[in-house]
A and B are shown apart, each in its own frame.
Chain A
Amino acid sequence: MAAVLPVGSDLSGAMNRFLKTILEKDIVDAVLMPMKVPSGDSFAWIIMSDSSIVDDAEAMAPVMPVQGARALRSLTRKGEGSIRVLALMRPCEIRAAIELSKLGQVKTENLILAAYDCPGAVPMDSFVSDPSSGEDLFRKMLAGEDVSAGEVKPSCTSCVEFSMTDADLHFGHFGLGGTEVLLIPGSPKGMEILEALELPADRETSIWDEAVRKRREKQVASRDAAFEETGENIRGVQGMLNVFADCISCRNCRAACPICYCRLCHFESETAKQDPNSRLDSAVTRGGISLPADRMLFHTGRMTHMSLSCVSCGQCSDACPADIPVAQVFSFVADRTQKAFEYSAGRNDGDPLPLRSFMKSELSGIHEMVSDAEPGGHAHE
């Protein structure tokens, strides 16, 4: 069941008004949402306590410059704040924030996480080069019009969690023809907001449910196709080397990733440095090696470090100057590793992080003395 927010002419505007109201009525003390930068070619996260500033903000931005969970982390990594902040973000940003809260990097006690039905994002590079076309494109995406897949951020075309995360409050608008938004509470915190506004959650959500279900079906099909293609491309050492052939080791992918929060990444640490002669030995025995070294180690190492928490947000691909489909590879691997542990990144269902928990009796296939032991096995038996 949900409460209803009427929409005048403009969906995003109606959400802005709602946020303004909860600020004015002191239901929350501040709101974190995107605002267009003065040059008009990007958006920045602004945390605002003054409701008049909300007018200049944008509930749903066409682009995703900084992953919202990174913004939240910069706010609360040293502890929870003393005022109540509502953060309105894309579902993948909310899921990353939930992962970061499990990792102790975001404190959610005084945060109200709000998400909306996300139609996808416009890739950063195309938006920067032509913001007004980018905004037109995003309006079409919001209205549910067909746009060509090539214009949308690649991860968004195969995103299956575009709606209904474990947020405290969800703004559902798919299938409602732009005339209303459903305010769907996902927790007592979300419910309290509706109660404070005296908005009864008495509306059936079946039309919206059906629209989400239909869209998910389509998205699942395109994700499966993307996985299949990626799976083929990265097969074996040679496949990985080909996909990452253009990598310049700038590590932007890691910098943009919401999950990679380590202050000192292993790959920057003393441990990762090697004696020159060990590199030279490799060069001599193999006939040659490529420098800077450890490109494959970096990517496969990062995969093992964070794929269990990857939310498939696509920021790594967006940040890559060499146009490598980093996110497609990471999402594919993440899908497999998360399934192996029956874990789903970004859920608030009480499942602990797989590497921080264990069961005494599990994964029995992997350590027995049989050569054909099934790799991976199942974490929960």
Chain B
Amino acid sequence: MPDFHPRIIGFLCNWCTYAAADLAGSSKLELPPEFTVIRVMCSSRIDHNLILSTFYRGADGILVAGCHPGDCHYGEGNYYARRRFALLKKVMETLDLEPERLELRWVSAAEGNRYAEVVNEFTDRIRKLGPSPIRTSTRL
């Protein structure tokens, strides 16, 4: 699918991954234009409905990224986020809703390079997967 330009949403924690995105940008690392960043205050801010509605509204892929375990600005937010994420993945897997379109990654504020790698790798994966079947459905 040569001219497929996926719509990918990244929910990035303000304290770590968002800062890493900034660093990647100011280091002039190459980042995919299809990747739209939404800044959130913590990975634990992301609830299931936010992710599901983003898919239903047409996202082809969603990346949630926050501080490494142990480094959450609020202490334990990302541990809870990880459990919630595992649950949502399980539901998507059980319903065969292409769970590979959803990922969780830890990227710290200092990891500008890792940020670029994660985002490029994820975007490549979504490009290969093609458009989400949800995106074209008229009966949701």
Residues of chain A touching chain B, judged by Cβ–Cβ distance below 8 Å, are 231, 234-241, 245, 266, 271-272, 278, 282, 285-290, 293-297, 300-301, 303-305, 307-308, 332-333, 336-337, 340-341, 354-355, 357-360, 362-363, 366-367, 369, 371, 373, 375-377, 379
> Judging by beta carbons under 8 Å apart, are A369 and B91 in contact?
no
> Judging by beta carbons under 8 Å apart, are B140 and A363 in contact?
no
Q: Give the total of B residues in contact with A, Cβ under 8 Å.
A: 47
Question: Can you list 11 A-B contacts with CB-CB less than 8 angstroms, sorted by A residue number?
Answer: A239-B96, A266-B49, A290-B140, A337-B87, A358-B83, A362-B82, A363-B86, A371-B100, A371-B125, A375-B92, A376-B86
> Judging by beta carbons under 8 Å apart, are A296 and B87 in contact?
no
In Å, the complex CA distance between A262 and B139 comes to 27
In Å, the complex CA distance between A241 and B92 comes to 14
> Judging by beta carbons under 8 Å apart, are A358 and B86 in contact?
no
Partner of A236, one of B88, B104, B133: B133
Given A285-B58, A369-B105, decide whether A354 and B87 contact each other with a Cβ distance below 8 A: yes
Instruction: Scan B86-124; emit 1 where CB is below 8 A from any A CB, else 0.
Output: 111111111111011001111000000010011001000
> Judging by beta carbons under 8 Å apart, are A297 and B90 in contact?
no
Which residues of A have CB within 8 Å of B117?
369
In Å, the complex CA distance between A305 and B58 comes to 22
In Å, the complex CA distance between A354 and B49 comes to 18
Partner of B87, one of A240, A287, A308, A371: A308
Given A287-B138, A295-B140, A301-B52, decide whether A282 and B118 contact each other with a Cβ distance below 8 A: no
In Å, the complex CA distance between A373 and B134 comes to 23
> Judging by beta carbons under 8 Å apart, are A297 and B56 in contact?
yes
Partner of A358, one of B80, B99, B125: B80
The reply on B85 being an interface residue by CB < 8 A is: yes
> Judging by beta carbons under 8 Å apart, are A297 and B95 in contact?
no
Partner of A297, one of B52, B103, B105: B52
Task: Give residues of chain B (26-84) contacting chain A, Cβ–Cβ below 8 Å.
Answer: 48-49, 52-53, 56-58, 69-70, 76, 79-80, 82-84
Partner of A366, one of B79, B94, B104: B104
Given A234-B95, A294-B140, A297-B140, decide whether A366 and B121 contact each other with a Cβ distance below 8 A: no
In Å, the complex CA distance between A307 and B94 comes to 12
> Judging by beta carbons under 8 Å apart, are B80 and A337 in contact?
no
Which residues of A have CB within 8 Å of B96?
234-236, 239
In Å, the complex CA distance between A358 and B76 comes to 9
Which residues of B have CB within 8 Å of A236?
95-97, 133
Given A266-B49, A375-B93, decide whether A367 and B121 contact each other with a Cβ distance below 8 A: no
Which residues of B have CB within 8 Å of A305?
48
CB distance from A41 to the nearest CB of B (A): 37
Given A241-B139, A289-B138, A371-B125, decide whether A300 and B91 contact each other with a Cβ distance below 8 A: yes
CB distance from B87 to the nearest CB of A (A): 6
Given A337-B94, A358-B80, A366-B104, decide whether A290 and B139 contact each other with a Cβ distance below 8 A: yes
Which residues of A have CB within 8 Å of B99?
375
In Å, the complex CA distance between A313 and B105 comes to 37
> Judging by beta carbons under 8 Å apart, are A333 and B87 in contact?
no
CB distance from A51 to the nearest CB of B (A): 46
Which residues of A have CB within 8 Å of B80?
355, 358
> Judging by beta carbons under 8 Å apart, are B95 and A379 in contact?
no
